[in-house]
Structure 1
């Protein structure tokens, strides 16, 4: 297998083929999304006119560092294209996202875009979602009640669920929107749609990292080149 960093760069560079002058872009979070940002910067310096809506403060800082024009979703609520990475991709292009802690903003931006393209290396392809822990963004108020409710919902679907509060050092990890994240290890999620509905029924759940039906295209870098997968 090729070097993972090389594959990420290849996926990021491949996404440039879908970026047109004048586009309003949703720009994701994570190392593969950052590879796209770094590939985009020379195009912008050469005169390409694009404006990006970053999905995290981390991505915003990188765009500013590379002089890529940015705006907020409040000023640009409708986007042409969103480009983002994923932690897992199944054959239907259902995704697990949120390993970087930006899943809420990533999902809002993806839903605001006419088209979402996922960029990833081949290690992210899976037959069934769930080996990667599912990030669940929750409100800090009533955290234990929310924790227990999620476990009950999982049990009702016949799933075992090991929940871990994400931390940054000794302190709980806080998202850019001021929430906490529970990482839920299911092992396998045979029915992502049912789990999505169940999690949305828990009042303390703000959002979860199952991205279902949002992306019809994935650019997956392999040792033999970049594959364009379609849902």
Structure 2
């Protein structure tokens, strides 16, 4: 199966985890687009969606799915989103689509994070995928320097990208993230960092992994 076919497979499988009559959290990215498309026929069976990006909101609305502002919602049963990497403990790197801050906000509302991904995203140690960090523009050089000093990472601003919040993305290469929770806590405290793309505090409870043999369900 192609990578696109695997994404479609897990997007369809994720629909079974949506609680009827509830609000569902919806992430961002190509795999999530497959989930949104699969969710559309059930739009009258849910109360709406909370979206993590402008692009996902546009796709949801185009398919007739009601979108609610996160400020209108106190909690949601499930948040369904992809990952750039996920380890065997459910910790993830996210932010390849530059929506990590809003993704983390929606994840914080959710009782369960369900990650949908193809098998290539499952890794033993996070870090082969460049770690995205949303940064206030005036702090970008300072944050880049600090990653080199603290972790030996090679960081640079992602060219031509501005987040939905008006900030820049710094991508950090050359990392081996052996303690995701500690690194997330540390980097989150650096002045100018809005969000680091380590999802350890908001790790996945379930991963629906697309494999050539079908959908493999991992629980953490």
Provide the TM-score with structure 1 as the length reference: 0.91
Q: Classify the secondary structure of the residue corresponding to 1:91.
A: coil
**Mapped contact 2:147–2:154 kept (Cα < 8 A):** no
Counterpart position of 1:164: 156
C-alpha distance in structure 2 between counterparts of 1:112 and 1:145, whole Å: 31
Counterpart position of 1:157: none
Runs of 4+ that moved beyond 3 A: none
Q: By how many angstroms is 1:148 displaced? A: 1.6
Counterpart position of 1:49: 46
* Comparing 213-222 and 116-125, the one that deviates more: 213-222
Supply the RMSD in Å over aligned alpha carbons: 1.2
Q: By how many angstroms is 1:183 displaced? A: 0.4
Counterpart pick for 2:142 among 135, 142, 145 = 145
Q: Classify the secondary structure of the residue corresponding to 2:97.
A: coil
C-alpha distance in structure 2 between counterparts of 1:197 and 1:109, whole Å: 18
C-alpha distance in structure 2 between counterparts of 1:204 and 1:94, whole Å: 24
Q: By how many angstroms is 1:20 displaced? A: 2.2
**Mapped contact 2:140–2:170 kept (Cα < 8 A):** no
In structure 2, runs of 5+ residues without a counterpart are none
Q: Deviations over 1:107-161 (max 9, x none)?
A: 110011111100001110111100000001111123222222232222xxxxx21
Counterpart position of 2:84: 87
Q: Give runs of aligned pairs for residues 169-208 of structure 1, distance below 5 A.
A: 173-208=161-196
Provide the TM-score with structure 2 as the length reference: 0.95
Counterpart position of 1:221: 210
Q: Classify the secondary structure of the residue corresponding to 1:177.
A: coil
In structure 1, runs of 5+ residues without a counterpart are 155-159
**Mapped contact 1:153–1:199 kept (Cα < 8 A):** no
Matched, 1:30 2:18: no
**Mapped contact 2:20–2:46 kept (Cα < 8 A):** yes
**Mapped contact 1:199–1:208 kept (Cα < 8 A):** yes
C-alpha distance in structure 2 between counterparts of 1:148 and 1:77, whole Å: 38
